[in-house]
Amino acid sequence: MSQPQINAGSDRLILLIKGAYWVALLIIAAMATASFIMLQQMMASQQRDQSLLILANTQKALSQRVVFLASTVNSAARDQQPALVKALREATTEFEQNYDLLLERTGASATSEARLDPNTIESVLFAKPYHLDFFSTGLAANGWRFISAFESQLGMGGGVVQYKLDTGRASLDETVASATLAGYSALGDRIEAFANQRLTSLLDLHRMLYYAIIGVIIMVALFIFQPMSNMIRRRTLELVDARNSMAFIAVHDGLTGLHNRTFLTDHFDALIKGAHRRSERLAVVQLDLDRFKQINDTLGHAAGDYVLVVTAQRMRDACRASDLCARLGGDEFVMLLNGAGTTEDINMVARRILDRINDPIVYQGKLINPGASAGIAVYPVDADNAEDLIVHADLALYSAKKLGGGGVSFFSEELRRELEHRRELESDLKQAIADESFNVFFQPQISMSKNSITGIEALVRWKHPERGMVSPGEFIPAAEKSGLMVAIGRIVITKAIGAAAEWHRDGIDFGRLAVNVSGAELREIDFDAFLFETLEKAGLPADKLSLEIVESVILDDEQTGIAAKLRHIRSAGVHLELDDFGTGYASLSHVNPNEIDRLKIDRRFVQNIDANGDNSKIVRAITELARGLGISIIAEGAETDEELKSLLSVGCDQVQGYSIAFPMPDETAREWMIARGAKKPKLTVLQGNRA
Secondary structure element (H or E) that encloses residue 422, with its range: helix 413-435
User: 69: burial class by Cβ within 10 Å (0-12, 13-18, 19+)?
Assistant: buried
Strands (E), 352-422: 361-363, 366-368, 372-379, 408-410
* Side chain identity at residue 550, one-letter code: V
Confidence band for 299, pLDDT divided at 50, 70 and 90 = confident
DSSP 198-262: HHHHHHHHHHHHHHHHHHHHHHHIIIIIHHHHHHHHHHHHHHHHHHHHHHHHHHB-TTT-SB-HH
Q: What percent of the chain is predicted at pLDDT more than 70?
A: 89
Phi, psi of 682 (to 5 degrees): -75, 145
Q: Residues with Cβ < 8 Å from 542, sequence gap 6 or more?
A: 532, 535, 572, 573, 574
Taking Cα atoms as reference points, which of 548, 656, 651 lies closest to residue 603? Answer: 656
Overall residue count recorded for the chain in this entry: 691
User: 225: burial class by Cβ within 10 Å (0-12, 13-18, 19+)?
Assistant: middle
- SS3 category, 361: strand
pLDDT for 75: 83
What does the pLDDT look like over 595-647, one tens digit per residue? 788 888 888 888 888 787 788 888 888 888 888 888 888 888 888 888 888 88
Q: Which of 26-40, 54-68, 251-265, 356-370 has the lowest mean pLDDT?
A: 26-40
Phi, psi of 520 (to 5 degrees): -60, -40
Confidence band for 682, pLDDT divided at 50, 70 and 90 = very low
Please give the average per-residue pLDDT across 4-10, as a whole number: 57
Please give the average per-residue pLDDT across 505-509, as a whole number: 91
Residue 578 CA, chain-centre distance (Å), reads 41
C-alpha to C-alpha distance for 416 and 392, rounded to whole angstroms: 8
DSSP 467-516: TEEEPHHHHHHHHHHTT-HHHHHHHHHHHHHHHHHHHHHTT----EEEEE
Report the side by side order of strands in the sheet with 282-289: 324-329, 332-337, 282-289, 372-379, 408-410
C-alpha to C-alpha distance for 606 and 654, rounded to whole angstroms: 12
Secondary structure element (H or E) that encloses residue 119, with its range: none
Residue that wins the pLDDT comparison between 642 and 688: 642
Residue that wins the pLDDT comparison between 111 and 584: 111
What does the pLDDT look like over 533-555, one tens digit per residue? 999 999 999 999 999 988 777 65
- 8-state DSSP, 405: S
Confidence band for 164, pLDDT divided at 50, 70 and 90 = very low
Taking Cα atoms as reference points, which of 139, 146, 145, 141 lies closest to residue 183? Answer: 139
Please give the average per-residue pLDDT across 66-73, as a whole number: 84
Please give the average per-residue pLDDT across 169-174, as a whole number: 59
C-alpha to C-alpha distance for 668 and 657, rounded to whole angstroms: 16
pLDDT for 505: 93
Residue that wins the pLDDT comparison between 678 and 274: 274
Q: Which of 8-22, 250-264, 402-416 has the lowest mean pLDDT?
A: 8-22
Secondary structure element (H or E) that encloses residue 458, with its range: strand 452-464
pLDDT for 691: 33
C-alpha to C-alpha distance for 597 and 514, rounded to whole angstroms: 12
Measured CA distances, 411 to 404, 482, 642 (Å) = 17, 20, 47
pLDDT for 560: 61
Cβ 213 vs Cβ 28: under 8 Å: yes
Cβ 555 vs Cβ 586: under 8 Å: yes
> Is pLDDT of 189 > 50?
yes
C-alpha to C-alpha distance for 500 and 673, rounded to whole angstroms: 12
- SS3 category, 65: helix
Q: Which of 31-40, 478-487, 610-619, 676-685 has the lowest mean pLDDT?
A: 676-685
Cβ 121 vs Cβ 52: under 8 Å: no
Cβ 41 vs Cβ 202: under 8 Å: yes
- 8-state DSSP, 664: B
∠ CA 560-521-437, nearest 5°, is 165
- SS3 category, 318: helix
> Is pLDDT of 485 > 80?
yes
pLDDT for 37: 82
> Is pLDDT of 159 > 50?
no
Residue 312 CA, chain-centre distance (Å), reads 27
C-alpha to C-alpha distance for 245 and 233, rounded to whole angstroms: 18
Mean residue pLDDT across the chain:
82
> Is pLDDT of 587 > 60?
no
Cβ 154 vs Cβ 85: under 8 Å: yes
> Is pLDDT of 282 > 80?
yes
Secondary structure element (H or E) that encloses residue 171, with its range: none
> Is pLDDT of 681 > 50?
no
Please give the average per-residue pLDDT across 360-372, as a whole number: 86
CATH superfamily of 423-676: EAL domain (3.20.20.450)
- SS3 category, 600: strand
Cβ 405 vs Cβ 354: under 8 Å: no
* Side chain identity at residue 22, one-letter code: W
pLDDT for 425: 87
Residue that wins the pLDDT comparison between 305 and 612: 305
C-alpha to C-alpha distance for 617 and 625, rounded to whole angstroms: 12
What does the pLDDT look like over 332-358, one tens digit per residue? 899 898 888 888 888 888 888 888 888
pLDDT for 5: 53
Taking Cα atoms as reference points, which of 411, 415, 409, 275 lies closest to residue 347? Answer: 409
pLDDT for 179: 83
Please give the average per-residue pLDDT across 374-398, as a whole number: 88
Residue 205 CA, chain-centre distance (Å), reads 55
> Is pLDDT of 456 > 80?
yes
pLDDT for 629: 82
Q: Print the SS3 string covering 608-622.
A: CCCCCHHHHHHHHHH
pLDDT for 685: 46
pLDDT for 547: 92
Is-cis flag, bond preceding 129, omega within 30? yes
Q: Which of 121-130, 161-170, 498-507, 558-567 has the lowest mean pLDDT?
A: 161-170
Please give the average per-residue pLDDT across 150-155, as a whole number: 82
Please give the average per-residue pLDDT across 518-535, as a whole number: 90
* Long-range pairs, 300-305, Cβ under 8 A, ≥24: 301/558, 301/559, 303/363, 303/364, 303/366, 303/368, 304/331, 305/255
Confidence band for 589, pLDDT divided at 50, 70 and 90 = low
Please give the average per-residue pLDDT across 349-369, as a whole number: 87
Taking Cα atoms as reference points, which of 354, 399, 349 lies closest to residue 372? Answer: 354
pLDDT for 501: 94
Taking Cα atoms as reference points, which of 571, 587, 581 lies closest to residue 550? Answer: 581
- 8-state DSSP, 445: E
Domain 261-411: give its CATH architecture. 2-Layer Sandwich (3.30)
Gyration radius of the chain over CA positions: 57
Cβ 443 vs Cβ 456: under 8 Å: yes
C-alpha to C-alpha distance for 596 and 574, rounded to whole angstroms: 11
> Is pLDDT of 403 > 50?
yes
